[in-house]
A = this chain, B = another copy of it.
Amino acid sequence: MKDSMNILVTLDSNYILPLKVMLKSMFYNNKNENFNIYLMHSSITDEEIKDLEEYIARDGHKLEVVYLDDEYFKDAPTLLHYTRAMYYRLLAFKFLPQDMDRILYLDPDTLVINPLRELYETDLTGYLYAAAYHDLIAVKEINRIRLMPYEIDAYYNSGILLMNLDLQRQAIDEKEIFEFVEKNHRKLIMPDQDILNCLYSKQIKTLDEKLYNYDARYYRYYKFMDDEWDMDRVIRATVIIHFCGKKKPWTKDYSGRFHALYKHYEKMALWD
């Protein structure tokens, strides 16, 4: 029997529906796996937790709740437009079981459409994380300039993060993170992602974005860059589709290549 896989999610009540859709797609496309879903939160109600627990149990998996009192980060600097939840994924290693060696963090605006095992078992020796960056020249350049003097060769997306918890416990110092935020709060746009890139980018193993962080907005771009990456290939090979950007597929005005597929999983999540 294979080890179960640890999945980390951090969210508030607004994201429970997308979380269920993401989880359903993951369970459906990983039928021979067992998942332990770690939910790190400060505001989800007991009722919502219970519902989620049952939802996950129905597919044979487990929910583990890590409640973070607002007290915990009370000395940490906050930003105008971000809550302390921005620290959750970066400091998760402190709150997860101390004998856990790895966990896969997943944003709830994703679909898992193929088996995760290969990603999960990525060799992380010497790396704090494995992550993908979106290789659009414009995006890279903007972030490189914005975050100078920090050297950003690639601006990693923090929506899908495989974590080497053992190494993080040794190498990541929360004080360093808090200091960084205090010093740079004016330039931070996506704070957790900015922190990840400015402080740890040299210790991130690069994942193939088309496999593990496929930006749903860029179908045409990926296909233009490599004609092999047509819809057939995406559906067969891509493991995680990421609905980046402001428009989300569970909202009314959305429109995009993967809309019907998203709604299909949403229906499974709500009805099955």
Residues of B within 8 A of A100 (CB): none
Residues of B within 8 A of A255 (CB): 231
Judge whether A252 is part of the interface by a CB distance below 8 angstroms.
Answer: yes
B259 with A231: CB separation less than 8 A = yes
**Residue of chain B at shortest CB distance from A272:** B31
Query: Complex Cα distance A165/B261, Å?
Result: 37
Judge whether A257 is part of the interface by a CB distance below 8 angstroms.
Answer: yes
Residues of B within 8 A of A113 (CB): 264
Query: Complex Cα distance A259/B267, Å?
Result: 18
Judge whether A47 is part of the interface by a CB distance below 8 angstroms.
Answer: no
Tell me the smallest distance from the CB of A243 to a CB of chain B, in Å.
12
Judge whether A71 is part of the interface by a CB distance below 8 angstroms.
Answer: no
Query: Complex Cα distance A260/B233, Å?
Result: 10
Query: Complex Cα distance A16/B266, Å?
Result: 30
B257 with A235: CB separation less than 8 A = no
**Residue of chain B at shortest CB distance from A258:** B260
Query: Complex Cα distance A4/B234, Å?
Result: 36
Residues of B within 8 A of A257 (CB): 259-260
Q: Provide the A239-272 mask, 1 if CB < 8 A to any CB of B, else 0.
A: 0000000000000101101111101101100000
Q: Provide the A107-143 mask, 1 if CB < 8 A to any CB of B, else 0.
A: 0000001000000000000000000000000000000
Tell me the smallest distance from the CB of A242 to a CB of chain B, in Å.
14
Judge whether A230 is part of the interface by a CB distance below 8 angstroms.
Answer: yes
A264 with B252: CB separation less than 8 A = no
Residues of B within 8 A of A46 (CB): none
Query: Complex Cα distance A113/B258, Å?
Result: 16
Q: Which of A232, A234, A236, A258 has the most CB of B within 10 A?
A: A232
Residues of B within 8 A of A254 (CB): 231
Q: List 18 A-B contacts (CB under 8 A).
A: A230-B252, A231-B254, A231-B255, A231-B259, A231-B260, A232-B266, A234-B260, A235-B260, A235-B263, A235-B266, A235-B267, A236-B263, A236-B267, A257-B260, A258-B260, A260-B260, A260-B261, A261-B261
The residues of A with any CB-CB pair to B shorter than 8 Å are 113, 230-232, 234-236, 252, 254-255, 257-261, 263-264, 266-267
Q: Give 16 A-B pairs besides A236-B267, A260-B261 with Cβ atoms closer than 8 angstroms.
A: A113-B264, A231-B255, A231-B260, A231-B263, A232-B263, A232-B266, A234-B260, A234-B263, A235-B260, A235-B263, A235-B264, A235-B266, A236-B263, A257-B259, A260-B260, A261-B264
